[in-house]
Amino acid sequence: MQLAGGQFTSATATVGNDLVTLPSFPAEIRAPQGTLAGVSSFQIHFASRDIATPGDTPNLLVAMNPAALQANVGGLEPGTAIIVNEDAFSKRNLMKAGYEDNPLDDDSLEAFQVTRVPMTTLCQRAAEAVDGASSRDAQKARNLFALGLVCWMYDRPTDGTETWIAQKFGGQPLVRDVNLAALRAGYTFGEATELIGARIEVAPATDIPPGTYRNVNGTQTTSMGLVAASVKAGLPLTLAAYPITPASELLHTLARRRDFGVRTVQAEDEIAAAGIALGASFGGGLGVTATSGPGMDLKAETIGLAAMLELPLVIVDVQRAGPSTGMPTKTEQSDLLLALYGRHGESPVPVVAASTPGNCFDAAFEAVRIALRYRTPVILLTDLFLANSSEPWRIPSAADLPRIDPAFARHDDPDAPFLPYARDEVGARAWAIPGTPGAQHVIGGLEKADRTGTISYDGVNHARMTELRAAKVAGIEVPDVVVDADEGARVLVLGWGSTAGATRAGVRRVRDRGLPVARAHLHHLNPFPANLADVLRRYERVLVPEINSGQLAQLLRARYLVDVISHTRMEGQPLLAGAMEQAILEAMPA
């Protein structure tokens, strides 16, 4: 189903609609088919206008079996169109999905427009035209039949999918031909039958900025952002990671970037992954490690070391629902406090958070910029939703990306000692990499004397070094937070991370009601933008939506003494636009 969803997305992107997707799948590799736990789904929201979220509830649900229907029917609005593969509604399948009676035969689906399509049978008939095809081969192609049907309904071209099938199954002509036959049969079925109501035309989106676009998910953009920063910094990228869902995709993607000099190392554990990345940075490379949830716990010690060494290191945390193993394939924003405070000692670390799949590119680039400019570990927070969700992305021009200067130190005066902890105007220390003549020095986890970097247990020096490290991070130059405010707005919606789409959509709905509201989104969580205090005090109410228990809300209250309103959802799913709208309306002062 994920493949069919991906193909529909590509077709939708190429006709120029704006879109956001929400793939959802079980943690198990081969979850038992036909059961509720085994349902894999792909949601797409597209339109001829700017789209912000994958949509709260679908207008069309395609259910390939009773379990898929059962798992998704609960949230549907009355009047929603449902297409079912009626061949899959066998007694056995109904039982597996927890149905006592066939919902297609009673009135339980009365509120919806249900269309029954014998997809399996039709696939089999289509496959008869292919020499040597078995009914099992035809069975396997039924998702493509559904794809063809939906492509017809929404007037999407299928040539891209046909090319894809031809390429993917080039070595298996039989599978290729059965799949092509199923796809075409689905499309033709839509065209030929009057079962399905009127065709829906969605014109290209017109309110999106000019440029060249492609469809991307957050994993692709994160990896491209890291590669771009590596090119712009002139430092080869080393990514060290240990397999973990959903961050493994970054390892897979970057492992294919040998053409940009990327070295990937599949480490023996999460700790080693952080250590290897730090070792690469120590050598003057760009060291990056990527993980999710539990992996962050294991990396804490190394991040603390990097903070002490004052070496660049980028830690990508593709957040997922925790604690512990939690829900590995469900999203959450619950690592914010961990990113900020999850280490012993006074060890402030800059934190950057991506807001949309496309924005992962900018956030990754920014994380590298900060890490190199300030010689510090930087935690980049994305999440599972951003990693898997896709949207059209305006492709940036490489020439427009700023150069990042690693500014390695040299040491030409043999009579003076090299001072590895002498600082520049932003507090970044002098960074001489191994191989630099005359600048030999040792850095380590022990507290060091100011400027010279030699071991020091002096209390006054420790206080000074603690303050210098803190001041450096606190002083990192980050752009002001931008407020999109209506005249007379009394409520500010302040989000961070992947809630950007839902808050934007919620705000739009409130505005459609003629009510003024303000919206801002944080990409820098440490340090906060300098104007944030000001912005917070400008509004009577500040609503902070998060997919956690209210971690940013807690930070804002503590830091700015502003009694923000926390709106949270912790169901492993992105925020919904409708719920956001409701929350904003409720936050409106009487």
Partner 1 sequence: MTTTAGLTKADFQSTQETRWCPGCGDYSILAAVQGFMPELGIPPERVVFVTGIGCAGRFSYYMNTYGMHAIHGRAPAVATGLAAARDDLSIWIVSGDGDALSIGGNHLIHALRRNVPIKILLFNNRIYGLTKGQASPTSELGKVTKSTPAGSIEAPVDALSLALGAGATFVARSIDRDKQHLPDVLRAAAEHPGAAFVEILQNCPVFNDGAFDHVADKQQAAEHRIPLVHGRPIIFGTEQEQCVVRAGDGSLRIAAAADVGREAIVVHDAHRHDPSLAFALSRLGDLSRGPVPIGVLRSVPTPAWGEGLVAENRRAHAAAGDAELDALLSAGDTWSVA
Residues in 59-118 at the binding interface with partner 1, rule: CB under 8 A: none
Nearest of 256, 202, 235 to residue 313 by alpha carbon: 235
Q: Which amino acid belongs to residue 155?
A: D
Question: Residue 437 in contact with residue 406, Cβ under 8 Å?
Answer: no
Residue 363 within binding range of partner 1, rule CB under 8 A:
no
The span from the CA of 27 to the CA of 12, in Å, is 28
The span from the CA of 563 to the CA of 543, in Å, is 10
The span from the CA of 175 to the CA of 3, in Å, is 15
The span from the CA of 177 to the CA of 231, in Å, is 43
Residue 166 within binding range of partner 1, rule CB under 8 A:
no
Residue 398 within binding range of partner 1, rule CB under 8 A:
yes
The span from the CA of 99 to the CA of 486, in Å, is 50
Residue 565 beta carbon to partner 1: minimum distance, rounded to whole angstroms: 37
Residue 261 beta carbon to partner 1: minimum distance, rounded to whole angstroms: 3
Residue 210 within binding range of partner 1, rule CB under 8 A:
yes
Residue 49 beta carbon to partner 1: minimum distance, rounded to whole angstroms: 13
The HSE-up count of residue 241 (CA atoms within 13 Å, CB side) is: 28
Residue 364 within binding range of partner 1, rule CB under 8 A:
no
Residue 26 beta carbon to partner 1: minimum distance, rounded to whole angstroms: 28
Helix (H, G, I), strand (E, B) or coil at 478: coil
Residue 519 beta carbon to partner 1: minimum distance, rounded to whole angstroms: 24
Residue 358 within binding range of partner 1, rule CB under 8 A:
no
Q: Which is nearer to partner 1, 91 or 344 (CB)?
A: 344
Q: Please identify which residue in 69, 202, 228, 500 interacts with partner 1, judged by CB under 8 A.
A: 228
Residue 433 beta carbon to partner 1: minimum distance, rounded to whole angstroms: 8
Q: How many chain residues interact with partner 1 (CB under 8 A)?
A: 73
The span from the CA of 349 to the CA of 529, in Å, is 15
Binding part of the chain for partner 1, among 45-53, 227-235, 332-340, 577-585 by CB under 8 A, reads: 227-235
Residue 443 beta carbon to partner 1: minimum distance, rounded to whole angstroms: 6
Question: Residue 180 in contact with residue 219, Cβ under 8 Å?
Answer: no
Sites for partner 1 among residues 523-582 (CB under 8 A): none
Nearest of 143, 161, 129 to residue 64 by alpha carbon: 143
Binding part of the chain for partner 1, among 32-40, 54-62, 314-322, 389-397 by CB under 8 A, reads: 389-397
Q: Which is nearer to partner 1, 186 or 358 (CB)?
A: 358
| Number of residues written out for the chain | 590
Task: Report how far apart the first and last C-alpha atoms of the chain are (Å, whole number).
Answer: 47
**Pattern 415-454, partner 1, x by CB under 8 A:** -------------------xxxxxxxxxxxxx-------x
The span from the CA of 509 to the CA of 402, in Å, is 37
Residue 459 beta carbon to partner 1: minimum distance, rounded to whole angstroms: 19
Q: Which is nearer to partner 1, 183 or 235 (CB)?
A: 235
Give ∠ CA 240-313-392 in degrees, rounded to 5. Answer: 75
Residue 301 within binding range of partner 1, rule CB under 8 A:
yes
Sites for partner 1 among residues 493-522 (CB under 8 A): none
Q: Please identify which residue in 6, 34, 190, 285 interacts with partner 1, judged by CB under 8 A.
A: 285
Q: Which amino acid belongs to residue 11?
A: A
Q: Which is nearer to partner 1, 253 or 334 (CB)?
A: 253
The span from the CA of 218 to the CA of 390, in Å, is 7
Residue 284 within binding range of partner 1, rule CB under 8 A:
yes
- 113-117 vs 60-63, strand pairing mode: unpaired
Residue 294 within binding range of partner 1, rule CB under 8 A:
no
Q: Please identify which residue in 30, 159, 171, 212 interacts with partner 1, judged by CB under 8 A.
A: 212
Q: Which is nearer to partner 1, 309 or 505 (CB)?
A: 309
What's the token pair of residue 446? 């022990």
Nearest of 31, 29, 26, 391 to residue 213 by alpha carbon: 391
Residue 160 within binding range of partner 1, rule CB under 8 A:
yes
Residue 585 within binding range of partner 1, rule CB under 8 A:
no
